[in-house]
Structure formats: structure tokens, C-alpha cells
Amino acid sequence: MHRWDPLTDRQVLLLRRIQEGDDLSGPDGAGQRSSARSLQNRGLVDVSRRDGAWRAAVTEIGSYYLEHGHHPEHPDHQPVAESGAATPTPAQTPAPPSPAARRLPAGEDRPRQLIKRLQDEGGTITIDEPDDDTRAHYRRLIDAAKRHKLVPEGFHLLHAGRDHGDLVIRLSDDSAPDDTDWNRVRLTSRRVKTDPAVLLAALEKDPTSLDVTAASVPRAIDLIRLLAEEARRRGHRLGVNTRTVHPKVYLKIDQVQRSVTIHEEYDDIPHVPTEKERREARRSRWVSIPATDRVASGRLRLEIARGVWADHKKGQLESRISKILREVEANVAEDREQQLAAQRAHEEYLAAVERRKEEERREWEAALAEARPKATEAVRRRTFRGIYDAWVASTEIRAFADALEQAASQDTDQARADNRARWLAWARAVADELDPTALAGVDFESEPSPDDLRLYLGDWSPHEPRKEYRYDKDNDRLADLRQQSTSWHPGLRGRPAWWRMR
């Protein structure tokens, strides 16, 4: 296929539709986007997908085609001088540049525009079955982009289909490489063929994937040929995967791929028992003779994804190819709308989840802000309580030791006096250890522990915005901590220490 090949009537209508302002961004244009890509490869249309939105616009070459009825590069319409060399005359309109040169400005801007197109279209562009000139042109652009260091930092260029098949170019993000997906694209570009001649030759060589009898194989292959011609006329493609065990046919509409299978239907006819079957039935009661036989009917059934069409009395499949493809296009558009609706519903669900999380976080932060001062005060009370009780204990031990020493001052038994002195020394050492008068070593701004916060957080976790499930032992531990934090106050001075009352 050459860039200057005449357009089909359907392609001309699509080109005129785009010129009149339809950018194919709506649901009714989804089935025409693959055709728009084919027009883009000829330089007739510019296509972009900025922010996920599809846009199509006619180029100057496309306007030229609609005005003159032929591509400006068509050899039959080039002005030729008597010597045979092409020479423009003042009265002639100069032909616009080639599609490759028209799509990309001269010099370094060509690869720069390729990078911009990749960024606008989500990082990947596909050129369907380009001719050798177009394929070589894109290879030069890729090489120039690399040599002139136009690839954004953190990305690199990949391409598949260097010599045949679809040409796929990808701007790969080094921070999130998807080698599995790229290997799939690379292998698919090698093993998938959309040339009708290659498609039919592959099926003629191995018709195993056609679920028909040998007598119906020629008709099934002819049906595939008609389907491929109509698909190409409507801007779609029928392809075959030649690297599988048996060639498998598929239909590609825009970027959607649907498997294509053909089956032969069977009829059930009354079974006529043979003499051998009768003898075996007479000899053994376990032998049963089938009531019917399945016989190939010659009727074909075409299945494309969830659509099924079959021969019937009013006509065969061959007479309904256009209608079948229209129904497939409608199914694809419906599937796309369902996918978009499902995606929107999923995004709304994620947004709702995020809102709930944010609301929970705000509630948790408010509860934490309210609980922290209370927990800090409880820690201070518990700390001061321990210090105070230790001071009371050390004071009482020293008073007790002084009383013992005074009472024993008249004791003349040296052995008892020595024993008593050892006890008194030990008691005063214990009192010194308990004496907490040096409060400088106790931090007044002590951070409350998670359990201190739990006393005032209800069911909230002190670590993150979620509700906690607590076992009985956890509740017992918190109850004990609460009792310590609330059963004492400075007014208890002079009363027995709390540990004496337990």
C-alpha cells in the first residue's frame, strides 16, 4: 500500500466528516478511530490523545485530497516536462510535501514532535502495517531523538516491528518499567499478520482452527476473505497469529481485538442400524443402538466474541458481511462504554473510600488532640504519686530508725547493739534509695505511652486512624492503669501510702 493510493468511499466520507468538525471524540466516533489512524499514516489526518481525550483534525494534505480527489504525491498527477523531469509551472499549484515531512517540521523538530506525540497519546503509538518508506522514516526519527538527546530524563524509546507488521513505538518510564507488557507487544508484532494474502495463505496451509469439514474449508476461507475485505473497507483489520500451533484469526477494531471462529453446524438424522449392530444387540443386552447420527450440514456459523451469526433459509453469511461488521462495531462501542462506566464507577468508589479515610483521619486526629493533654496530665499524676509515696516511705523509715536508735541507747548488750546497728544502717540505706527529692532527673514533659492515650481515645488506635479490637486482658491492663491514674491526688498528704491500702 502506497500513501497515494485512492481512498475508499467510506474513507472519503470519514475524511469529510472530520473536516466538517467531528473530531471522533464521542461514542459514535469510536468505531471510526482505526480508520482515522490509517488516514493519519497517509498524512491526511492529525490524531492526538491529550489527557486521554481523542482528537482528530484534517491536515492540509487531507484538504487537498478532498478538493482535487487525489493524493498530492500520486505519480500520475505530478507535472512532467518534455524531457521527463518534473517541473512545476507558475500556473500549477505546488504539491504539498510528503506525509512524513508534513507531519513533522524539518530538522530536529521532527523527532521532537514524535516525543511530544508519544507524551500526548499515553506513551505508545501504533502505525498499522506501514509501507517501507514510512517504516524507515520512523526509524530515522527514533534514531535522531536518541542522538540529539531529546528523550526526557528517566525515559527511553522502544520500538517493535522494525521490518514487518505493525510499528509500535513506546516512551518507556524507567521508574515503572513494564517488561511483561512490552514483551507481549514485541512478540505480537512479530507473529501477527494482517496482509490478506498472508492471512488466506496461512489458513489454506493449516485450516485446523476452522471448525469445519474438509468439504466446507474452501467456503470458510472465502468467507474469511470477504470479512477481511469488508473490514479493511471500514477501516478495520482482520489478522492472523502465525506463531501459534494453528493459525488463529482475529478482528481488530481500533485497539480492540476480537477472535474470529467459523464452525460447521450438524444435523441429527435417524440412525439406520447395520446388520453388525443388530447381531451385537441380540447377543448382549448391554449393547445399545444410537437413535440418530450427526451429519455435517454444510451450514456455517460465524462467531466474533459474543456475537453469533449463522446461515439460514433467507440467506447465507456471505450476503450479510456488512451487517455483521456493523453489529460488531456496535458491540465494541457498547463494550467500550461499559468499560468506561465501570472505570468511572471504580474511580468514584476509590474517591469515596479516600473521603472516608480522610474523614476517619480527621476524627482520629481530633480525638488524639483531645486525649493527649489528658493522658499527659495522668502521666504526671502517676509519676508524682510515685515520687510522693517514695518520699513518705523514706521519711517514715528514717523516723522509725531514729526511734529505734534512741530506744536502744540504754542497751548494754554489745552483741544486740551491733546487730541493731546493722539493721539501722540497712534501713537508712533503703530510705536513701527511696528518697526522690532530686526531681531534676524526672522529665516534666514526659510523653504519654500508647496505653496512656488509650484511656481517653475510646476505640481509636493511638498509632493510626483505625478502630481497635481489644481482648479482655487488654481491658484489664487499661483498667489497672486507670485506677492508678485516678485513685490519688495531692490532698492525700499525710494519709497512708496507696500501696499500703491495696
Going 55 to 10 to 161 to 202, the CA torsion angle's sign is positive
Distance CA 380, CA 315 (A): 93
Tens digit of pLDDT for each residue in 161-181?
777 667 888 888 887 777 777
Q: Note every long-range contact of 64-72, with CB atoms under 8 Å and residues 24 or more positions apart, other chains counting.
A: 64/95, 64/96, 65/7, 65/15, 66/12, 66/15, 66/16, 66/19, 70/4, 70/6, 71/3, 71/4, 71/5, 71/6, 71/42, 72/4, 72/96
User: Which H, E and C letters describe 451-473, residue by residue?
Assistant: HHHHHHHCCECCCCCCECCCCHH
Residues whose CB is less than 8 angstroms from the CB of residue 216 and which lie 6 or more positions away in sequence, other chains included = 264, 296, 298, 300
- Residue labelled with grid coordinates 471522533: 24
**Is residue 122 within 8 Å of residue 49, measured between CB atoms?**
yes
**Is residue 355 within 8 Å of residue 400, measured between CB atoms?**
no
Q: Which of 46-55, 241-250, 324-333 has the lowest mean pLDDT?
A: 46-55
Tens digit of pLDDT for each residue in 366-401?
999 999 998 888 888 888 888 888 888 888 888 988
Q: How would residue 223 be classed by pLDDT, with cut points 50, 70 and 90? A: very high
Q: How would residue 82 be classed by pLDDT, with cut points 50, 70 and 90? A: very low
Q: How would residue 357 be classed by pLDDT, with cut points 50, 70 and 90? A: very high
Distance CA 394, CA 156 (A): 76
Distance CA 66, CA 14 (A): 11
Q: Say whether pLDDT at 299 is over 80.
A: yes
The whole-number average pLDDT for the span 133-144 is 85
Helix (H) or strand (E) holding 49: strand 45-50
The whole-number average pLDDT for the span 334-357 is 93
Q: How would residue 220 be classed by pLDDT, with cut points 50, 70 and 90? A: very high
Q: What SS3 class is residue 297?
A: strand
Single-letter amino acid code for the residue at 22: D
- Residue labelled with grid coordinates 492471512: 199
More confident residue, 216 or 168: 216
- Residue labelled with grid coordinates 444435523: 267
Q: Say whether pLDDT at 341 is over 90.
A: yes
Q: Say whether pLDDT at 351 is over 90.
A: yes
Q: Rounded to the nearest 5 degrees, what angle is found at the Cα of 265, between the Cα atoms of 264 and 266? A: 125
The whole-number average pLDDT for the span 188-195 is 62
Q: Say whether pLDDT at 268 is over 70.
A: yes
DSSP 3-state helix, strand, coil percentages of the chain (rounded to 5)?
Answer: 55, 15, 30
The whole-number average pLDDT for the span 23-50 is 76
- In b/e form, how buried is each residue of 302-332, taking b as 16+ CB within 10 angstroms? bbbbeeebebeeeeebeebbeebbeebbebb
Distance CA 321, CA 265 (A): 19
pLDDT winner (highest mean) among 40-49, 120-129, 304-313, 385-394: 304-313
Single-letter amino acid code for the residue at 91: A
pLDDT score of 187: 60
Local structure of residue 91 (DSSP, 8 states): T
Q: Say whether pLDDT at 264 is over 90.
A: yes
More confident residue, 138 or 302: 302
Arithmetic mean of pLDDT over the chain:
80
Q: What SS3 class is residue 171?
A: strand
What percentage of the chain has pLDDT greater than the value 90?
Answer: 19
Q: Say whether pLDDT at 496 is over 60.
A: no
Distance CA 191, CA 199 (A): 12
Q: Say whether pLDDT at 490 is over 70.
A: no
Single-letter amino acid code for the residue at 280: E
Local structure of residue 208 (DSSP, 8 states): G
Q: Say whether pLDDT at 81 is over 80.
A: no
**Residue 475 burial (10 A CB sphere; 0-12, 13-18, 19+):** exposed
Q: Say whether pLDDT at 275 is over 80.
A: yes
Q: Say whether pLDDT at 441 is over 70.
A: no
Full-model pTM: 0.51
Distance CA 173, CA 153 (A): 9
Q: How far does the chain reach from its first CA to its final CA, in angstroms?
A: 99
The whole-number average pLDDT for the span 148-162 is 84
pLDDT score of 102: 39
pLDDT score of 188: 61
What percentage of the chain has pLDDT greater than the value 70?
Answer: 83
The whole-number average pLDDT for the span 91-119 is 56
More confident residue, 73 or 357: 357
